[in-house]
Amino acid sequence: MNSLKEEVRKFTGKVLCIGTFEDSILYSLRKNHKVEVYTIERTVSKGGLFRRQSKTRLQDGKKVNMKKLRKRFKKKSIDYMLCNINDIYEYFKYFLYDSVYINKKELYVYGESKYIDPNVLAKRFQRYHATVEVSHSGDKFLLIVHNEHSKGNWLKAKFYVIVDTFHNMGDMISAALIS
């Protein structure tokens, strides 16, 4: 996580933060005057049970659907993206293509590796001709995706969404049979 804090200090341009972050990372972003920060956090309903909703809120209060993130941001309009895998995991097959579409430079994905293999995530980003770096520290990982030369195609994206859906269903069935 210290390497992520050091990288955040060097950012210039527009930064999109999706999910919950450590306060030190957000503090470093707010302290950097060369960036324009957009944050997207999941809305949580008040009451006895905390339920996560599919709608998220952008910093200016407008609702953003995670499945349609690319409708809110134009093509290659965001320089850097910071994402917590725990908050985007259920939308990851849609987020994958959308992040390649709207991201101009680098995407940073971090989280715990006990739920998902970071090497599988790296292979999914490499489909779009992106260069990927994976670093582990204990059970946490940091995935750095360089999107300078990445390309996306609408038909290819829909095909990969279907492939990823069947892959995830196969993982769920195998986990159920093993347990």
Total residue count of the chain as it appears in this document: 179
**Distance separating alpha carbons of residues 172 and 167, to the nearest angstrom:** 9
CB atoms within 10 A of CB 142: 18
Cα distances (angstroms) measured from residue 100 to each of 67, 78, 114, 164: 14, 10, 25, 16
Q: What is the mean pLDDT of each run of 10 residues along the chain (179 residues)?
A: 79 85 80 84 49 48 69 86 85 85 90 82 90 89 90 86 89 88
Model pTM score: 0.82
Pairing status of strand 131-137 against strand 140-146: antiparallel
Helix (H, G, I), strand (E, B) or coil at 43: strand
What's residue 4's pLDDT? Answer: 80
What's residue 42's pLDDT? Answer: 60
Which fold is adopted by the domain 2-153? Rossmann fold (3.40.50)
The residue ranges of every structural domain in the chain are: 2-153
**Distance separating alpha carbons of residues 62 and 95, to the nearest angstrom:** 19
Any idea what DSSP says for residue 67? G
What's residue 51's pLDDT? Answer: 40
**Distance separating alpha carbons of residues 1 and 63, to the nearest angstrom:** 29
